[in-house]
A and B are shown apart, each in its own frame.
Chain A
Amino acid sequence: MIELKNVVKIFGRRVAVDYLTLTVPRGVIYGLLGHNGAGKSTAIGMMLGQVWPTQGGVRVGGYEVTSHRRLALQKVGAIFEAPVFYDYLSGWRNLEILSQYSGPTAPARLREVIDWVGLTGREKSPVRTYSHGMRTRLALAQALLPNPELLILDEPGDGLDPEGIHELRLTILRLNRELGLTILLSSHLLNEVEQLCTRIAMLNQGRRVFEGPLAGIRTERRWLRLRAGDFAVAVRQLLAAGLIIADRDGVWIEPAPDTGADRIVRFLVEQGMAVFEIAPEEQTLESFYLSLMKDSRQKSPQF
């Protein structure tokens, strides 16, 4: 659905996106993660034809955005950076104006979408009277109006309260499940991304440092938490036997390839050691993200 190939974007002397290659398959909820200034918004800007790549190709829906922007965005709905509206006009009028940049929109379709995002009854009020949550819903409504197949949401939960974030999460899941939309989501809220996305990409300093299914990150590392009679002795013996390759924090061990927890427990019991607990490390997206960023910083001399 979206394809970025060796995309580079340079603003003055700053490289915002550095040879970024990314593929968002149809039907997934795809998370784009990274710290502030990592290049997420620039990448999204290029997908929407608002930022011109210095080098490389950006294709959306099979069309090159730089040369066929209109065709590429025909089936795209987006919230790019903070949603802003004409405050002095009503929600209805805002939707009408924005949707008619895509094509004529029937009032019935406007009503349908307003109902879908739960703004019925407030659509005729000026947007200046809307709460932050209502503005987010209005932004979602304008993105949904052209009957999109792809939804690009740049930090959609920014500034929302926990209830609003929960509501937004349910809406995004509904859009994906009920309407079959492909959704590209950039967010700082790792917990949200973890609950929503099936596939993620992480950016650091404009470079992709990880790309893959979210489920995959849980198997990236195989640390086990070990509570034994004497951890230091246990580690020494396991290392000598070649069953583990590393340990850390007085509680974690990293098994050697092809070594399972069962072999480790058996070995320790055979050595006469008490084993109270052995369990795989439950790696959250947050811990994965932090360790990846730490690795990336260590590798990058200018960071």
Chain B
Amino acid sequence: MLFLQLRNELRKLFGKPRTYIGFGALLLIQVLMVLLLRYSPASRGMVRQMESNGYDAGQYLTSLTIAGVMLHPIAFILLPLYVTLIGGDLVAKEAEDGTLRMILSRPISRFRLLLVKWLAGAVFSALLVLMLGLVGVLFARCFFPWGGMFVFVPGEMFSVLDASAGLWDYAGAHVLLAVKAGTILSLAFMFSCFNVKPAAATILALSVVFVSFVLMQIPFLKELQPWFFTYYLDLWRNALMQPVPWWKVNESLCVLAGCNLTFFIIGATVFHVRDIKS
């Protein structure tokens, strides 16, 4: 039964043109970024960076490196935007449209309905991240050679990997990125369970993510960083480090699992006591 209901929820989700905004936008942005990195002087900085560290740019200015470079801005801004857009819609849009009344005239518990919707949202997040990873590396491959992976974020990350290890780490980063996407979606989903418009749920979730991130950047609050849930959202970057700090990954996974559960419980509790009425 749960499978049937999940399948139907996915049919509803992927039947809406709105669902594909994220896929379309990410595809377009990745294509643009690859073309910019290929045909503009932008890649010169990367070449300088590699050569100043004693690495052959010809060996490391590859499709994997480019896909990794593109991942940072997309994961920070665009991914949260598109998952909150869908997460905010999951319950609030059905309540706004009136289809929720049709569903809740059926003998399905509110908890089960929310569980099915949350699972559909999780599937969406995973697919969005999967597409992001595949398109990034495949499109970059059209313009850059296959080879090792060079990861450099000043003051934070420096990794040089051969092609095989780079591909594994790139894949691992996407698995963890799906966890980030799922957690942000859960936050939007929680707000969606409140008696608010879908846009309000999306904006609230984005606000929490960005405000939390901004607060984390205030130097006086650096010590409090572990108390912000956004601190753990960057767990995917750990997969690109050498060696991978597994304790940090595990800690982030545990915290984010707790966040997901908390968001779901709050959402379900609010939704349970709500009156569904136009």
CB neighbours of A86 from chain B (8 A): 12, 15, 99
| 0 or 1 for each of A65-104: is its CB under 8 Å from B? (1 = yes) | 0000111111011111111111011000100111011111
Residues of chain A lying within 8 A (CB to CB) of residue B5: 100-101
Is the CB of A274 closer than 8 A to any CB of chain B? no
Shortest Cβ gap from A271 to chain B (Å): 62
Given A50-B277, A96-B8, A103-B1, decide whether A84 and B99 contact each other with a Cβ distance below 8 A: yes
Cβ contact within 8 Å between B98 and A82? yes
The interface residues of chain B lying within 8 Å CB-to-CB of A34 are: none
Whether, in the assembled complex, B97 has its beta carbon less than 8 Å from a beta carbon of chain A, the answer is yes
Which of A45, A74, A88 interacts with B107 by CB under 8 Å?
Answer: A74
8 Å CB contact of A52 from B11, B102, B105, B275: B275
Q: Does B103 contact A (CB under 8 A)?
A: yes
Query: CB distance B16 to A97 under 8 Å?
Result: no
Cα distance A185–B107 when bound, in Å? 20
Task: Return the chain B residue nearest A88 by Cβ.
Answer: B15
Closest residue of chain B to A52 (Cβ to Cβ) is B275
B4 cross-chain contacts in A, Cβ below 8 A: 100, 104
Contacts of B103 in A (CB 8 A): 98, 101
Partner of A102, one of B8, B12, B106, B276: B106
* In contact, B107 and A81 (Cβ under 8 angstroms): no
CA distance A101 to B100 in the complex (A): 12
Nearest A-chain residue to B16, judged by Cβ: A88
B52 located at the interface, meaning its Cβ lies under 8 Å from any Cβ of chain A in the complex: no
Residues of B within 8 A of A52 (CB): 273, 275
A142 contacts the other chain (CB 8 A): yes
A-B contact count (CB 8 A): 92
Pair A51/B276 contact, Cβ less than 8 Å: yes
- In this complex, how many residues of chain A approach chain B with their Cβ under 8 Å: the count is 41
Q: Are B276 and A69 in contact (CB under 8 A)?
A: no
- Docked Cα-Cα span, A50 to B106, in Å, equals 10
Q: How far is the CA of A79 from the CA of B105 in the complex (A)?
A: 8
Cα(A104)–Cα(B276), bound, Å: 25
- How far is A89 from B108 in the complex, measured between Cα atoms in Å? 21
Whether A84 pairs with B277 at a CB distance below 8 angstroms is: no
Q: Which residues of B contact A11 (CB under 8 A)?
A: 275
Asked if A85 and B16 make an inter-chain contact with CB atoms under 8 angstroms apart, the answer reads no
- Separation of A189 and B102 alpha carbons in the complex (Å): 23
A50 touches B16 (CB 8 A): no
**Which residues of A sit under 8 angstroms from B11, Cβ to Cβ?**
89, 93, 97
A156 within 8 A of B: no
**CB <8 Å contact, B104 and A89:** no
User: A255: which B residues are within 8 A, CB to CB?
Assistant: none
Structural contact, B101 and A80, CB atoms closer than 8 A:
yes
Q: Which residues of chain A have C-beta atoms less than 8 A from B8's C-beta?
A: 96-97, 100
Q: Which residues of A contact B15 (CB under 8 A)?
A: 86, 88-89, 93
Contact between chains at B16 and A81 (CB < 8 Å):
no
Which B residues touch A74, using CB under 8 A? 107
Query: Whose C-beta in chain B lies nearest to the C-beta of A87?
Result: B97
Decide if A102 touches B107 in the complex (CB within 8 Å).
yes
Cα A42 to Cα B103 in complex, Å, equals 17
Q: What 1/0 flags go to B185-221 for Cβ under 8 Å of A?
A: 0000000000000000000000000000000000000
In A129-156, the 8 Å CB interface with B consists of: 142-143, 146, 152
Q: Could you tell me if A50 and B104 are in contact, using CB atoms closer than 8 angstroms?
A: yes
Q: Quick one: CB contact mask for B1-41 with A, threshold 8 Å, 1 for yes?
A: 10011001001100111000000000000000000000000
- Add 6 more A-B contacts to A72-B107, A78-B105 (CB < 8 A): A50-B277, A81-B98, A82-B278, A85-B102, A100-B8, A146-B106
Q: Which 6 A-B pairs have the closest CB atoms?
A: A84-B98, A101-B106, A73-B107, A78-B105, A50-B276, A97-B8
